[in-house]
């Protein structure tokens, strides 16, 4: 397995897609029940293959990631050959960026010495999808990029 197995909740959400996946392999509902009971290792392999297919599709479509913690955030734009980072670090522990009050404070103090904004570009390794997946494993979430676009406009590059 290349990525990680989907959670039970994710499988529940993708129930119809999983049925279609089994159908492409000519596995009926009855056959799937038999496989689960009599050949659990085969069932596990099918779950893993399906999980990887789903992850591959999601990672291919992802264009922006965000990782926000109390004292910093990392905003990523996922381009074709590289990812672009806009980062922000607070030089105070009095503010929590994960709260509404913290974001309100940030709006008021964005240009103060208490806030550092930085940016960087990084080429993907040989496996761009795995690079994206690792960021998700470290706490990033896929977004529409509104925050990235706001800061990109703000810093004007």
For residues 54 and 96, membership in a common domain is answered with: no
The answer on 149 and 79 residing in a single domain is yes
Q: What is the torsional sign of CA 10, 11, 15, 17?
A: positive
For the stretch 16-49, pLDDT in tens is 999 999 999 899 888 999 999 999 999 999 999 9
Is residue 99 located within the same domain as residue 32?
Answer: no
> Residue 16 domain-assigned?
yes
CA distances from 135 to 16, 64, 75, 88, 113 (A): 28, 11, 11, 17, 28
Domain identity same for 13 and 26: yes
> Do 113 and 36 sit in the same domain of this protein?
no
How confident is the model at residue 116, as a pLDDT? 93
Do 51 and 98 fall within a single domain? no
The model's pLDDT over 54-83, given as tens digits with 9 standing for 90+, comes to 999 999 999 999 999 999 999 999 999 999
Residue 70 in domain: yes
Q: State the total domains in the chain.
A: 2
Domain boundary among 38, 61, 84: 61
pLDDT exceeds 60 at position 157: no
* Confidence label for 156 from pLDDT (cuts 50, 70 and 90): confident
What is the rounded end-to-end Cα distance, in angstroms, of the chain?
Answer: 39
The answer to whether residues 54 and 86 belong to one domain is no
Do 43 and 70 reside in the same domain of the chain? no
Please state, in angstroms and rounded to a whole number, the distance separating the CA atoms of residues 105 and 123: 33
Q: Residue 111 has what pLDDT?
A: 86
List the one residue out of 150, 130, 15 whose CA is nearest residue 78: 130
Confidence of residue 53 (pLDDT cuts 50, 70, 90): very high
Residue indicated by tokens 């240009």: 111
Q: What is the mean pLDDT of residues 136-143?
A: 95
What confidence tens digit (pLDDT) does each residue in 75-114 have?
Answer: 999 999 999 999 999 998 899 999 999 999 998 998 889 9
Within this chain, do residues 78 and 94 fall inside the same structural domain, yes or no? yes
Same domain assignment for residues 51 and 84: no
* Whole-angstrom distance, CA of residue 138 vs CA of residue 65: 11
Assigned domain for 1 exists: no
Determine the structural domain holding residue 57 and report its residue range.
8-61
Pair 141, 127 in one domain: yes
Task: Decide: pTM greater than 0.95.
Answer: no
Do residue 84 and residue 117 come from a single domain? yes
Asked whether residue 3 is domain-assigned, the answer is no
Token digits for 143? 């977004």
**146, part of any domain:** yes
């Amino acid at each position: 397995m290349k990525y990680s197995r989907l959670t039970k909740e994710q499988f529940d959400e993708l129930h119809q897609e999983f049925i279609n996946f089994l159908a492409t392999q000519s596995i009926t509902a009855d056959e799937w029940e038999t496989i689960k009971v009599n050949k659990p290792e085969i069932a596990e392999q099918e779950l893993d293959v399906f999980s990887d297919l789903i992850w591959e599709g999601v990672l291919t479509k992802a264009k922006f990631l965000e990782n926000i913690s109390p004292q910093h955030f990392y905003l990523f734009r996922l381009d074709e050959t590289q990812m672009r980072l806009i980062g922000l670090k607070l030089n105070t522990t009095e503010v929590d960026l994960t709260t509404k009050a913290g974001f309100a404070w940030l709006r008021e103090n964005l240009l103060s010495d208490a806030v550092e904004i930085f940016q960087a570009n990084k080429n993907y390794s040989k496996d761009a999808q795995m690079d994206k997946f690792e960021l998700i494993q470290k706490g990033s979430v896929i977004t529409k990029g509104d925050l990235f676009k706001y800061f990109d406009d703000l810093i004007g590059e």
